[in-house]
A and B are shown apart, each in its own frame.
Chain A
């Protein structure tokens, strides 16, 4: 009802009034009475105005789907259909992970009868996910700020924030080139015998068709020689993403899970640009996401949409997830598992056996927790403790890796800096070796 200012006025009024009584002073008495009336006289008039009904708030956004670290333009229109509003405070709430880049999402203004204000601001979503802009909070004061009334407009705008596109911009251009040179050294996956591209000449085999015989080479060597052709074959990749709660420990923006997602997006984009089939399984206690390996332009948006909505929780049930995936995929594929290896090793080994039994190959890329949390510790005590914990974790990890190596499953330990180059390198090696050919 009363604002802080109104309360001070009432208390001052009572104080002066009692002083007037005590010292029999009519000036103090009059000022006390006046202050009390000044605080209360406006109340009914203020309450009579239907601010909640008279104020209309409209919000429009430039896009409902946006990549993290890109920009979003928000336009807000406030219309007053009632009488004069002496002072209106407005706040359009934005999610905590959104950064206000330009303009402002709050204002204070005076609105005439039937008046309207329109303003806009630009925000930058910092983290992928599904967010809501809003609610809009309105606080109306009288001219002297003695009375106030609040209203909340539940006008939400849902926004899907995809993982950042910056990695794709940065590495994508390199990945699309056939000869990557410095960074990766990519080559085509070859399937000799069929196709249009000439591969070489070899000795004739009785099983060869006569049309493959190279007569010039036969004449030159005096022996029957056959021409060999090649074609590029696409590979099938399945990303197994661990979305258990342990993956999101540490910094909100730069934890293992966010890096894994960025790596998965980049891998998907590059694989799809080279017409490979790529799929995604995100698992925790249950299968959170299952996207069958496919190629085509729509696949990247399926993956982006699924990754945007993913939130880590529960424990990782690796075996159940792998069993489900293997049963759904009839042909073999190249499995890339992104996990911090902090769950139980037994189900993981069972899952490895299952993949190997189907003749598929598995590569585990494992973000190592202490490398992702190194910057969070500032004091020497915290640093010393983190080193001790890191050693303990490393020992456990070495045991798991030793067991995995028995099944010829390579495990790559990664930190924030080498995560994306490592996954790119792994993909290009697989491509070169023709792992998981479709």
Chain B
């Protein structure tokens, strides 16, 4: 029964690995700098040392100056000597080993390169953990982490994907690597969510069912032991009645209903795996097709708007900006919640 869970899990991991390798290849190789971590560590330590040095310098200087001020009234020579010391303190302390802080830009640049490695590590760890535990947080870490790599790369112009607009006819659109990566990325979510869903329906239910059957068997065994004991020691019979009340109750229920163990273990709760898989395939294909169509319409609004007849808009300069996607995205995306609200309203009306 839990084979279906493994099927979805393998599928999900497989898509994640493909996605990971594709995303790595779609950012410039330059971003994967091995030296980012040691450089950042060195720069941070230099910054810390510099900070401590500054604090030390200014606190000592203030102390010497204060002491010089105090001694000026009764020992002018000492006061002068202290004043001289304070003016040469910088050279005395830092003369031989002057300390210059790293530039902020340099620190930030190295942190930027390091963040790629941190994200990659987080994604890899989550992927490993997801193989053992069906947790939603791992799915989100993998999905958001992978796409964050593209975002980070795009920040400094290191992304190699999505640089040109997605125009053209639907067929060209479908074979576009940008679109394939988008669909794969989305499909990872769809499969992973289904994996968690299937796990809850099968693995959890089977586990609970087995636990109940185990408890049931224990209760029955307790009763057998009781009969054996009470036949031997008659005096303790009344004391044991309480202890085995449950097993007697179970026995009675089993006598009355032959299906009792099936009912108590909740066997009928575990769904049919074949129906679930076929249902997933059909619904998933329909759903993804609808989403792809809608995304295509939004990202490439020219054909639809040209069809409507808004020629001036199609030929305007705004049409080459990515923001044009909002033109159809907003009405289309809001259309579905609006329809559902109307349905909800009608339902409530009918109930009233």
Contacts and interface: CB of A to CB of B under 8 A. Distances in A.
Interface of A: 1, 5, 8-9, 12, 16-17, 19-21, 23-31, 33-38, 40-44, 46-48, 50, 62, 70-71, 73, 75, 84, 86-87, 101-104, 107-112, 116-122, 143-145, 166, 169-170, 173
A116 B181 CA distance: 41
B112 interface: no
A89 B139 CA distance: 22
16 contacts: A12-B143, A16-B151, A19-B151, A23-B154, A25-B161, A26-B163, A31-B182, A33-B298, A33-B325, A40-B337, A43-B337, A62-B253, A71-B246, A110-B201, A117-B268, A144-B193
B347 to A, nearest CB: 8
A102 B299 contact: no
A89 B276 CA distance: 17
Interface centre among A16, A29, A70 (most CB of B within 10 A): A29
B294 A41 contact: yes
B128 interface: no
Nearest to A70: B245
Interface of B, secondary structure class, is: helix
Given A33-B298, A40-B333, A145-B193, A119 B322 contact: no
Which 8 A-B residue pairs are closest in the complex by CB-CB distance? A27-B162, A23-B154, A110-B271, A43-B340, A25-B162, A120-B263, A44-B339, A119-B266
Contacts, number: 208
B200 interface: yes
Contacts of A33: 294-295, 298-299, 325, 329
B164 A5 contact: no
Interface centre among A16, A30, A37, A38 (most CB of B within 10 A): A30
Contact of A103 (B159, B197, B265): B265
Interface in B215-256: 215-216, 219, 238, 241-242, 245-246, 249-250, 253
A27 B183 CA distance: 10
A39 B291 CA distance: 10
B291 A34 contact: yes
B190 interface: yes
A38 B242 CA distance: 57
A25 B159 CA distance: 9
Contacts of B212: 102-104
A29 B185 CA distance: 13
B174 interface: no
Interface in B186-222: 186, 189-190, 193-194, 196-197, 200-201, 204-205, 208, 212, 215-216, 219
Given A20-B162, A144-B193, A145-B197, A30 B266 contact: no
B147 interface: yes
A46 B344 CA distance: 10
A41 B294 CA distance: 9
Contacts of A46: 340
B52 interface: no
Interface in B299-324: 299, 322-323
B340 A144 contact: no
Contacts of A1: 337, 340
Contacts of B344: 47
Contact of B179 (A30, A41, A86): A30
B201 A5 contact: no
B32 interface: no
Nearest to B165: A26
B166 interface: yes
Interface in B273-290: 275-276, 279-280, 283, 287, 290
B268 A118 contact: yes
A119 B246 contact: no
Contacts of B266: 103-104, 107, 117, 119
A48 B154 contact: no
A118 B269 CA distance: 7
A95 B216 CA distance: 23
A337 B249 CA distance: 36
A419 B77 CA distance: 95
Contacts of A143: 193-194, 197, 280, 283
B272 interface: yes
A375 B168 CA distance: 79
Contacts of A122: 246, 249-250, 264
Contact of B194 (A5, A84, A144, A170): A144
B162 A30 contact: yes
A19 B154 contact: yes
Given A40-B333, A102-B219, A122-B264, A29 B279 contact: no
Given A28-B162, A30-B162, A47-B344, A20 B339 contact: no
